[in-house]
Amino acid sequence: MHGSEILLDLFVIFVAAQIGAGVARMLRLPGVVGEIAVGCAIGPSVLGWIAPSEPLEVLAEIGVVLLLFSVGLETRVDEMKRVGRSAFLVGVLGVIVPFALGSLWAHGSGFDWDKSLFVAAAFVATSAGITARVLQELGVLQRQESRVILGAAVIDDILAMLLLGIVTALQAGESVQIGKLVVIVAEAVGFVLVIGFFGTHIARRWSQRLASLKLCSSLALALALCLGLAFASTQFGLAAIIGAFLAGMVASEIPQRDELEHQTQPLLALMTPFFFVLTGAKIELAQLASTDALLALAVITAIALVSKLVGGFLGALALGRRGALIVGVGMMPRGEVGVVIASLGLATGVFSPRTYALIVAMSLLTSIVTPPLLALLLQPRQTSPQ
Amino acid sequence: MHGSEILLDLFVIFVAAQIGAGVARMLRLPGVVGEIAVGCAIGPSVLGWIAPSEPLEVLAEIGVVLLLFSVGLETRVDEMKRVGRSAFLVGVLGVIVPFALGSLWAHGSGFDWDKSLFVAAAFVATSAGITARVLQELGVLQRQESRVILGAAVIDDILAMLLLGIVTALQAGESVQIGKLVVIVAEAVGFVLVIGFFGTHIARRWSQRLASLKLCSSLALALALCLGLAFASTQFGLAAIIGAFLAGMVASEIPQRDELEHQTQPLLALMTPFFFVLTGAKIELAQLASTDALLALAVITAIALVSKLVGGFLGALALGRRGALIVGVGMMPRGEVGVVIASLGLATGVFSPRTYALIVAMSLLTSIVTPPLLALLLQPRQTSPQ
């Protein structure tokens, strides 16, 4: 009578996330690992208590958007500028190396070259959500490595979009329209720069005056900005989380910044579990129930991890070896972006269901492997609960 | 690619709600009136910018559940006990009077007696969401009248469920199984009493020990309780908001209560606009575009308002005339409960689409009329923004 099934889903997911995160922390792992693992356990693959549905996907999307918004809140644009060079290099090399290795592997496993490029595109895009959560949990968002990772994630997303445009055109047998691609990328870059620089500038200059009008609370204004830019960035071909991150950076320039950070915490507590539990629930264990599949998965996951690690490491060498290693590891998770590209490949018939399952499993596996490694590198002994 | 339509919906609804609430406050009306009005404006009836969808319904449900949870947080069970007698009388009379007048009207307009009883059931159930929001906005949740209204809403919901069980059986030509109904009502009453008394007792005694385990934050625990009891109350045939309200009352007994109240505010800021804007978006103006329909609507809305007002007033006479008037007005909104009964009537063929539209419009109209009246009675000049 009152939509009780969905309430049960919400309850189960929320409680499972708390238990998963609690157990993970007892094992000195980041809480997010527990949330993903518990998602796999209660998902269709194992217990089948929950199944991804449209409302849950929306809650998950809101969760990761809020997460990146709060990460943006802890990031100042001036500090981002300082790591601009490293972030750019990490972003570019972190795309080129996985793309190159990915196409070689795909071609080696029998794909045509144009299909291989498509497969390789799924190796490319870093998903900032997982890493951002780990960095936030460890309280190290202010470190230089964290800024490089976040900046690189933005550049990475722009390049991934460019790449996807090219390989989709190649795959469909169309000629690549360089002019059109240049316009698309210019628009995306323009969007990021305009929001990142002018947006923060405007926030600094006008926020006092806007606040004095008392039209609505600064939280309401910030949330509107977050939702608005998250949507706007999808219109420029970028992930919603990029817009949310930029919105957070803009909001971090206003005087009520600390209050906003404080107010965002309960929102994250309620909404982010849906993202991570659903990420875990999407792992289809059945597809991987053969030595053959597991072997293939091991190979592509290794390629995905190593290629991104190498690209990120080389790009961030200016931070020293350990810093470069942290950045490389931080760039490893593919998360939902790889899944989206794989779905596209399945829908257009480029991938077989098995390749699809492999790519999805690889994307999710990179998300599970990264947090403990990152925690190990950043803080050998993590004891505090959250 | 990343669910951009839903992000646009979220952005539009959220911003529209802020504008609506802001304009309403400038007109010295409670913000909630503006949110409902703006929902009607951007909904399918007028601009068509948004349409109710499953994900939006879920967000709305979470919003109203959180709202009643936060209202529960501001309500102590000891204070509820003190107004128990009045609340009981208001709940009972607030059901009997509208049901009696409703069936007389329905029979007078040509319905059989058994169908008339079904129509009358749609006149009965008070929706606590609207009133709770107004009381919270005005900061008067601590007043005796507020406690009577909230207590009566719980009793009201139990009686409405009982009534719906009876009229559905009558309508289907089945004999009413008294024994079965007694069990159903006993279960619902038992659920409310067990949670309301033992739950708060346990919270008082065990919360310190639980907190010292540091398994998770008290916010996470409170949210889990809120979602869990919201679901549980639907299993006892009650509205989800009743469970959420009880969860809030239980959580209000723990020492971290003030912190919880503080942390709940950002959650309400994000989620409740979806409930009120969606409530407004459901108003179908087209069905009411004739003098005939408007006249009929005026009559049934008047019956709905007056009958509840009289019932509530008589029940709360112990509070004095003004207090009784406030309680009577506070019980007037039917909100989504009337809509649910109307849908049931449409689905089982008891109502014509026109009767359905009338009942829905009446339910929503009572929700729009109540907040300004309540604000007028409780605080003649309201100036502070929220």
A269:B214 CB<8 A = no
Chain A with chain B: Cβ pairs closer than 8 A? 142
pLDDT recorded at residue A335: 67
Given a cut of 90, whether residue B163 has pLDDT beyond it is no
Whole-prediction pTM: 0.84
> Which residue in B has a C-alpha nearest to residue A21's C-alpha?
B216
* Chain A, window 12-31: residues with a beta carbon less than 8 angstroms from a chain B beta carbon: 14-15, 18, 21-22
Given a cut of 90, whether residue B84 has pLDDT beyond it is no
- Average pLDDT of A147-172? 79
Minimal CA separation from A213 to chain B, in Å: 11
The rounded distance, in Å, linking the Cα atoms of B386 and B383 is 9
**Structure tokens given for A91:** 């972003």
pLDDT recorded at residue B386: 42
Whether residue B285 is contained in a domain is answered as yes
Given a cut of 70, whether residue A30 has pLDDT beyond it is yes
Domain hosting residue B125, numbered range? 4-378
* A contact test, residue of B231, B242, B272 with most A CBs within 10 A: B231
Residues 6+ away with beta carbon under 8 Å from A312: A90, A93, A94, A152, A324, A327, A328, A329, A330, A331, A332
Whether residue B202 is contained in a domain is answered as yes
* Chain B, window 208-237: residues with a beta carbon less than 8 angstroms from a chain A beta carbon: 214-217, 219-220, 223-224, 227-228, 230-231, 234-235, 237
ipTM: 0.82
- Average pLDDT of B222-236? 92
- Give the tens place of pLDDT for each residue, B310-338: 999 999 999 999 999 999 999 998 866 67
- Range with the poorest average pLDDT among A117-131, A270-284, B40-54, B83-97: A117-131
Whether residue B383 is contained in a domain is answered as no
Whether residue B59 is contained in a domain is answered as yes
A65 touches chain B (CB under 8 A): yes
Given a cut of 60, whether residue A385 has pLDDT beyond it is no
Whether residue A309 is contained in a domain is answered as yes
A58:B59 CB<8 A = yes
Minimal CA separation from A349 to chain B, in Å: 18
**pLDDT averaged over every residue in chain A:** 84
- Give the total residue count for chain A: 386
Instruction: Please tell me which residue, B126 or B176, carries the higher pLDDT value.
Output: B126
Please give the full DSSP string across B204-259, using - where no structure is assigned: HHHHHHHHHHTSS-HHHHHHHHHHHHHHHHHHTTS-HHHHHHHHHHHHTTSTTHHH
**pLDDT averaged over every residue in chain B:** 84
A3 touches chain B (CB under 8 A): yes
Please give the full DSSP string across A325-373, using - where no structure is assigned: HHHHHHT---HHHHHHHHHHHHHTTSS-HHHHHHHHHHHHHHHHHHHHH
Whether residue B384 is contained in a domain is answered as no
- Give the tens place of pLDDT for each residue, B248-296: 989 988 888 888 989 999 999 999 999 889 888 887 777 778 888 889 8
A7:B227 CB<8 A = yes
Minimal CA separation from A270 to chain B, in Å: 7
**What's B21's domain CATH number?**
1.20.1530.20
- Average pLDDT of A13-23? 94
Whether residue B264 is contained in a domain is answered as yes
- Confidence band of B381 (pLDDT split at 50, 70, 90): very low
Output the CA–CA distances (angstroms, integers) from residue B309 to B79, B302, B317, B363, B376, in the order listed. Answer: 24, 10, 12, 15, 15
Residues 6+ away with beta carbon under 8 Å from A257: A73, A251
pLDDT recorded at residue B12: 96
B125 touches chain A (CB under 8 A): no
Instruction: Please tell me which residue, A337 or A83, carries the higher pLDDT value.
Output: A83
Minimal CA separation from B177 to chain A, in Å: 21
- Confidence band of A313 (pLDDT split at 50, 70, 90): very high
Whether residue A354 is contained in a domain is answered as yes
Structurally, chain B folds into a number of domains equal to 1
